[in-house]
Amino acid sequence: MTHDLVATLRPLLTAEASAEAHATGTEPGDLEQAVWLRLLERLDTDGPPTDPQGWLRRAVRSESRRTRRTTRLERPYETEPADDVDRTPEHQALAAARGRALRDAVRRLPGRCPSLMEALLSPMDLTYREIAGELGISQGSLGPERSRCLGCLRRLLTPEVAARGARG
Protein backbone atom coordinates (compact mmCIF):
# COMPACT_ATOMS: atom_id res chain seq x y z
CA MET A 1 0.00 0.00 0.00
CA THR A 2 2.73 2.47 1.02
CA HIS A 3 4.81 1.60 -2.03
CA ASP A 4 1.82 2.28 -4.33
CA LEU A 5 1.16 5.60 -2.58
CA VAL A 6 4.80 6.66 -2.94
CA ALA A 7 4.92 5.63 -6.60
CA THR A 8 1.69 7.54 -7.29
CA LEU A 9 2.73 10.71 -5.47
CA ARG A 10 6.38 10.91 -6.58
CA PRO A 11 5.81 12.78 -9.90
CA LEU A 12 3.35 15.20 -8.30
CA LEU A 13 5.69 15.87 -5.37
CA THR A 14 8.63 16.47 -7.72
CA ALA A 15 6.59 18.99 -9.72
CA GLU A 16 5.14 20.74 -6.66
CA ALA A 17 8.49 20.93 -4.86
CA SER A 18 10.21 22.32 -7.96
CA ALA A 19 7.54 24.99 -8.29
CA GLU A 20 7.65 26.03 -4.62
CA ALA A 21 11.40 25.71 -3.99
CA HIS A 22 12.33 28.71 -6.09
CA ALA A 23 10.13 31.03 -4.03
CA THR A 24 11.61 29.79 -0.75
CA GLY A 25 15.21 29.85 -1.90
CA THR A 26 15.67 26.20 -1.04
CA GLU A 27 16.50 23.09 -3.00
CA PRO A 28 13.59 21.07 -4.39
CA GLY A 29 15.16 17.91 -2.97
CA ASP A 30 15.11 19.36 0.55
CA LEU A 31 11.46 20.24 0.20
CA GLU A 32 10.65 16.77 -1.14
CA GLN A 33 12.55 15.16 1.73
CA ALA A 34 10.58 17.17 4.30
CA VAL A 35 7.23 16.24 2.72
CA TRP A 36 8.14 12.53 2.52
CA LEU A 37 8.99 12.68 6.22
CA ARG A 38 5.63 14.31 7.02
CA LEU A 39 3.87 11.58 5.01
CA LEU A 40 5.69 8.85 6.95
CA GLU A 41 4.76 10.53 10.23
CA ARG A 42 1.14 10.73 9.10
CA LEU A 43 1.09 7.08 8.03
CA ASP A 44 2.34 6.08 11.50
CA THR A 45 -0.31 8.09 13.35
CA ASP A 46 -3.40 8.54 11.16
CA GLY A 47 -2.90 6.21 8.22
CA PRO A 48 -2.96 7.28 4.58
CA PRO A 49 -4.70 10.55 3.69
CA THR A 50 -8.15 10.22 2.12
CA ASP A 51 -7.17 12.69 -0.64
CA PRO A 52 -3.44 11.99 -1.19
CA GLN A 53 -2.93 14.56 -3.97
CA GLY A 54 -4.66 17.34 -2.03
CA TRP A 55 -2.80 16.42 1.14
CA LEU A 56 0.50 16.47 -0.75
CA ARG A 57 -0.15 19.92 -2.23
CA ARG A 58 -1.05 21.31 1.20
CA ALA A 59 2.00 19.66 2.77
CA VAL A 60 4.34 21.15 0.15
CA ARG A 61 2.94 24.63 0.73
CA SER A 62 3.09 24.21 4.48
CA GLU A 63 6.74 23.09 4.35
CA SER A 64 7.49 25.95 1.98
CA ARG A 65 6.04 28.46 4.46
CA ARG A 66 7.97 26.87 7.31
CA THR A 67 11.19 27.13 5.30
CA ARG A 68 10.55 30.81 4.51
CA ARG A 69 9.94 31.55 8.21
CA THR A 70 13.08 29.70 9.22
CA THR A 71 15.15 31.51 6.60
CA ARG A 72 13.82 34.86 7.74
CA LEU A 73 14.72 34.09 11.37
CA GLU A 74 18.18 32.57 10.77
CA ARG A 75 21.03 34.83 11.77
CA PRO A 76 24.74 34.03 11.91
CA TYR A 77 26.32 33.88 15.34
CA GLU A 78 27.90 37.10 16.43
CA THR A 79 31.54 36.46 17.12
CA GLU A 80 33.72 38.75 19.09
CA PRO A 81 37.38 39.03 18.23
CA ALA A 82 39.62 36.92 20.42
CA ASP A 83 41.33 38.87 23.15
CA ASP A 84 44.98 38.07 22.46
CA VAL A 85 46.22 40.43 25.16
CA ASP A 86 45.62 37.88 27.94
CA ARG A 87 47.13 34.98 26.02
CA THR A 88 50.73 34.11 26.60
CA PRO A 89 53.06 33.12 23.75
CA GLU A 90 52.89 29.53 25.00
CA HIS A 91 49.08 29.52 24.73
CA GLN A 92 49.27 31.01 21.25
CA ALA A 93 51.85 28.41 20.13
CA LEU A 94 49.77 25.53 21.52
CA ALA A 95 46.59 26.86 19.89
CA ALA A 96 48.40 27.21 16.54
CA ALA A 97 49.74 23.64 16.83
CA ARG A 98 46.25 22.30 17.60
CA GLY A 99 44.86 24.22 14.64
CA ARG A 100 47.55 22.79 12.32
CA ALA A 101 46.91 19.24 13.59
CA LEU A 102 43.18 19.67 13.02
CA ARG A 103 43.64 21.07 9.49
CA ASP A 104 46.09 18.26 8.61
CA ALA A 105 43.61 15.64 9.85
CA VAL A 106 40.76 17.31 7.92
CA ARG A 107 42.79 17.11 4.69
CA ARG A 108 43.26 13.34 5.23
CA LEU A 109 39.51 12.66 5.51
CA PRO A 110 37.83 10.59 2.76
CA GLY A 111 35.40 11.75 0.07
CA ARG A 112 33.59 15.07 0.49
CA CYS A 113 34.56 15.35 4.14
CA PRO A 114 37.54 17.70 3.66
CA SER A 115 35.48 20.30 1.79
CA LEU A 116 32.53 19.95 4.20
CA MET A 117 34.71 20.29 7.30
CA GLU A 118 36.58 23.27 5.81
CA ALA A 119 33.24 24.97 5.19
CA LEU A 120 32.09 24.20 8.75
CA LEU A 121 35.38 25.49 10.19
CA SER A 122 35.33 28.60 8.01
CA PRO A 123 35.68 31.88 9.92
CA MET A 124 32.88 33.25 7.71
CA ASP A 125 30.35 31.28 9.86
CA LEU A 126 28.42 29.91 6.89
CA THR A 127 24.83 28.71 7.35
CA TYR A 128 23.83 25.18 6.29
CA ARG A 129 22.08 26.67 3.27
CA GLU A 130 25.28 28.45 2.17
CA ILE A 131 27.39 25.34 2.74
CA ALA A 132 24.94 23.17 0.80
CA GLY A 133 24.97 25.63 -2.10
CA GLU A 134 28.76 25.85 -2.06
CA LEU A 135 29.21 22.07 -2.03
CA GLY A 136 26.28 21.29 -4.35
CA ILE A 137 24.56 18.89 -1.96
CA SER A 138 21.14 18.84 -0.32
CA GLN A 139 20.81 20.87 2.87
CA GLY A 140 19.03 17.94 4.49
CA SER A 141 22.07 15.73 3.85
CA LEU A 142 24.50 18.02 5.66
CA GLY A 143 23.70 16.81 9.20
CA PRO A 144 24.20 13.09 8.51
CA GLU A 145 27.25 13.83 6.35
CA ARG A 146 28.70 16.06 9.08
CA SER A 147 28.19 13.31 11.68
CA ARG A 148 29.93 10.77 9.48
CA CYS A 149 32.84 13.15 8.81
CA LEU A 150 33.19 14.01 12.51
CA GLY A 151 33.34 10.28 13.32
CA CYS A 152 36.13 9.84 10.76
CA LEU A 153 37.94 12.89 12.14
CA ARG A 154 37.63 11.54 15.70
CA ARG A 155 39.20 8.25 14.61
CA LEU A 156 42.02 10.08 12.83
CA LEU A 157 42.81 12.32 15.79
CA THR A 158 42.57 9.68 18.53
CA PRO A 159 46.12 8.34 18.02
CA GLU A 160 47.51 11.88 17.82
CA VAL A 161 45.96 13.04 21.08
CA ALA A 162 47.96 12.02 24.10
CA ALA A 163 46.07 9.80 26.48
CA ARG A 164 45.88 11.02 30.05
CA GLY A 165 47.97 9.14 32.53
CA ALA A 166 46.49 7.03 35.28
CA ARG A 167 45.13 9.00 38.17
CA GLY A 168 45.63 8.43 41.86
Please give the pLDDT value at position 23. 76
Q: What is the rounded radius of gyration, in angstroms, for the C-alpha atoms of the chain? A: 22
Q: Structural domain boundaries of the chain?
A: 2-72, 91-160
The Cα–Cα gap between 13 and 31 comes to 9
How confident is the model at residue 126, as a pLDDT? 87
Q: What does pTM read for this prediction?
A: 0.47
Could you please state the CATH topology (level 3) that the domain comprising 91-160 is classified under. Arc Repressor Mutant, subunit A (1.10.10)
Low-confidence stretches of the chain (pLDDT beneath 50): 162
Q: Greatest CA span in the chain, whole angstroms?
A: 69
**DSSP track, 99-168:** HHHHHHHHHTS-TTHHHHHHHHH-TT---HHHHHHHHTS-HHHHHHHHHHHHHHHHHHHGGGSPPPPPP-
d(CA 84, CA 92): 8
Strand spans (E) along 69-142: none
Distance CA 108, CA 15 (A): 40
Instruction: Write out pLDDT tens, residues 106-122.
Output: 999 999 899 999 998 88
**DSSP for residue 80:** P
Write the Ramachandran bin of 158: left for phi over 0, alpha for psi from -120 to 50, otherwise beta.
alpha
Is the distance from CB of 8 to CB of 52 less than 8 angstroms?
Answer: yes
Q: Round to whole Å and give the CA distance between 128 and 37.
A: 19
How confident is the model at residue 89, as a pLDDT?
Answer: 85
Can you say how many angstroms the Cα of residue 55 is from the centroid of all Cα atoms in its chain?
Answer: 27
CB distance 12 to 56 below 8 Å: yes
Distance of CA 113 to the CA centre of its chain: 13
Q: What is the pLDDT at residue 55?
A: 93
- φ/ψ of 77, rounded to 5, equals -65, 140
First and final C-alpha spacing in the chain: 62
